Structure 1
């Protein structure tokens, strides 16, 4: 769909809502938005104030949001129009499609003839309610213990349901609660999708096998709608365009090499790069949620509101949730429990491990906190070992340098202390940050107390 066609559709949507066609300034705002111009640039060309352009834009986004049944903004106007095109014309056998109170009739070609319609009937009024055609949650783990993650749930829900993000990375160190959060999220939003599937990535999922699994799943959901002469399986992207789908990929770190910088694909998994790029670049109405210790390198953590990619790095639990874990092990009454929670970074798995050790051995937790002791039970060491073994030799050198420092250090000091070039050091720090193994405070870097203790013991 070109700019003229998008403006034509937008004009008719606005006319149906207001009884007026787009004026010159409204058309300029929409055209400039499609050409990725700023409000300031649009105002300069139209010889008016930037505030006037912003006000007109805000009114347009509100009208379009109401009529299309989704949040439309300057950042997603083009993709919203493309999704409208897909929903209207992906199936050429449809003779009539209704979007709220606007009729799009006739063949799938432009220009469109949009006419006034009759008042919406009950079926139309409920059109925003998505019918779930098919779900496969056989690989999704049970929720188990779940602690309050309201801000994170709200963020993910907004990205998926309102901003229509296509590719979301949920990352964080082992045991922090990524999978539990995703399970809780899925239970809350799964009925907003026609197709929902949860896949745990392991060695058996080559790119071809994975894509075949999804196509088989989606095609099965369509069988009831296909005539005997039209049961041809489509490319994966077509299913993602034809239906609102949610695909969850757990343990995506299994796609990447151990002993290399973060996010390097194993040779046999290189085709996943093309798949994720396709999901990002091509217009569709579905969402992939990737969960893992590492994420693909192309899924950057840089926050760019103009892309359909989002990354959420999960942090530790707050003090109240941490105390719930301690309460399960009879440790809720210890003095200064807040210090213990901070020491283990609010990591649910780490806190459970050390609380279990304290309970079994009858150690005085209060005395333990007096001398800043870091306990590393064997099960916790096993978890830390798994993540440490994935790192490259270069990253191990940098972690060894950081483990010798009790305070955060800057780049200059790390260069001075180690025999590492500035380029290698920067790459290692970036990789460790993407693995969530180091913390950054301004221009300073440090290891968590738990990892520092673990590395010192190697």
Structure 2
């Protein structure tokens, strides 16, 4: 029995039990187990948290146990799958069975003790037929360089396909890899939907125009799938209820005002608030994925599994993955890359920018790390300025205060200067957190080193201008 056969039969059983195919994490666990690897090694190979890996593995063994009618665990899964294969071969020998992925020549039947098996991409009597998918992904960027985001991919896939969440926000500071992660996600799950569309909200039209574009796509494809009718288009929510749709909105921060606290809609885009509320509250079978520097104000940072909304704030790459970027830029591990990754917080764009500068200057990362130096290449400063310019004057005051602190500080310490009231300070901290511009641990706040350096450089530049 080879690995491919095991994965195919396990996929069939998981689909029979859950209605979903093996996801990336489940497949990695099964693949590693069949190769005799321990959870520690599997977690290390895919850069994943071992305790969560064990939890997912336990759920997988439980599914296989229920489908096979015997106790299955990590130590006996190989023998259990071999017994299943022998049983299938014996039961269908008379039907000229070809074992590759248990293809049956003759009448379609289910294997013994498995009445609800679902071969991949094959319609069964117990499954709802999937209609031909309609996809408008013309605005979706090409994938480009994708660095491992296995935990995040698994979280998003689970939220969308298994938990059937209706509204998901994917946020993070510029350059962290939000759009790249979303492109990888869509490529993996798009065929699970009747409709998959991607829109970039850059100078996007009003809500009325947006809904009109979507409805036109739905109504046009429905006419193609059936006989043409003169029936008027339905409201958008009706299409989301009648069809399984994935709608991705990138750069959603363009709906919000600059110079205000996070998530405040521009006057012409206020109606999007009602749309997002409708997506969250009304029952339907579709999912909206919102990508941007900040989420809508009505989407909380912390969500419960009892609600149909989720939020994922993307952080930097782990050290092992980030080192791939530096190696691609010609930096060897001997260049003290770990410290460099930590200083630039594993942000792919930031690391590429500073690594390019180091490469062009012909210096080593060790030279850069002297005296806690943080280089800010011009392209990186441009990116940081875009986000800084979006913040309110109140948030700029708070960031200036945090830039003077060498250690994380609490609210009481920030209030000591007497410049900001407690109410304004708390609102500013919440907004900066939603914009991913500050870090919080317990009750302590700090500014990331790169942003701290940017604000100090900016302050110095303005001081020089004033003195001229």
TM-score norm. by structure 1 comes to 0.72
Secondary structure, counterpart of 1:135 in structure 2: strand
Secondary structure, counterpart of 1:290 in structure 2: strand
Matched, 1:169 2:169: yes
Write the distance in 1 (CA, Å) between the matches of 2:267 and 2:343: 39
CA-to-partner distance for each residue in 1:274-309, whole Å, 9 max, x for gaps? 000110011100000000001101111122121101
User: 1:420 maps to what in 2?
Assistant: 420
Write the distance in 1 (CA, Å) between the matches of 2:450 and 2:132: 44
Write the distance in 1 (CA, Å) between the matches of 2:137 and 2:289: 14
Secondary structure, counterpart of 1:400 in structure 2: helix
Matched, 1:362 2:362: yes
CA distance 1:226–1:446, shift in 2 (3 Å): same
User: 2:131 maps to what in 1?
Assistant: 131
Report the CA distance between 1:356 and its aligned residue. Answer: 0.2
Matched, 1:304 2:300: no
Write the distance in 2 (CA, Å) between the matches of 1:123 and 1:315: 40
CA distance 1:254–1:125, shift in 2 (3 Å): same
Write the distance in 1 (CA, Å) between the matches of 2:131 and 2:151: 28
User: 2:240 maps to what in 1?
Assistant: 240
Write the distance in 1 (CA, Å) between the matches of 2:228 and 2:361: 68
Write the distance in 2 (CA, Å) between the matches of 1:123 and 1:400: 60
Query: What pairs with 1:4-43 in structure 2 (closer than 5 Å)?
Result: none
Contact residue 223 and residue 229 of structure 2 kept, 8 A: no
Report the CA distance between 1:262 and its aligned residue. Answer: 0.2
User: 1:331 maps to what in 2?
Assistant: 331
Report the CA distance between 1:367 and its aligned residue. Answer: 1.7
Write the distance in 2 (CA, Å) between the matches of 1:186 and 1:324: 24
User: 1:199 maps to what in 2?
Assistant: 199
Query: What pairs with 1:44-59 in structure 2 (closer than 5 Å)?
Result: none
User: 1:107 maps to what in 2?
Assistant: none
Query: What pairs with 1:208-223 in structure 2 (closer than 5 Å)?
Result: 208-223=208-223
Matched, 1:394 2:390: no
Structural RMSD (CA): 2.2
Gaps of 5+ in 2: 1-62, 68-116, 459-468
Query: What pairs with 1:247-286 in structure 2 (closer than 5 Å)?
Result: 247-286=247-286
CA-to-partner distance for each residue in 1:138-173, whole Å, 9 max, x for gaps? 000000000000000000000000000000000000
Contact residue 335 and residue 364 of structure 2 kept, 8 A: no
Contact residue 138 and residue 198 of structure 1 kept, 8 A: yes
Contact residue 136 and residue 198 of structure 1 kept, 8 A: yes
Write the distance in 2 (CA, Å) between the matches of 1:278 and 1:130: 26
User: 2:377 maps to what in 1?
Assistant: 377
Write the distance in 2 (CA, Å) between the matches of 1:294 and 1:339: 28
Query: What pairs with 1:78-157 in structure 2 (closer than 5 Å)?
Result: 123-125=123-125, 127-128=127-128, 130-157=130-157
CA-to-partner distance for each residue in 1:234-290, whole Å, 9 max, x for gaps? 100010011000000000000000000000000000000000011001110000000
Write the distance in 2 (CA, Å) between the matches of 1:178 and 1:422: 33
Write the distance in 1 (CA, Å) between the matches of 2:368 and 2:439: 25
CA-to-partner distance for each residue in 1:19-55, whole Å, 9 max, x for gaps? xxxxxxxxxxxxxxxxxxxxxxxxxxxxxxxxxxxxx
User: 2:461 maps to what in 1?
Assistant: none
TM-score norm. by structure 2 comes to 0.71
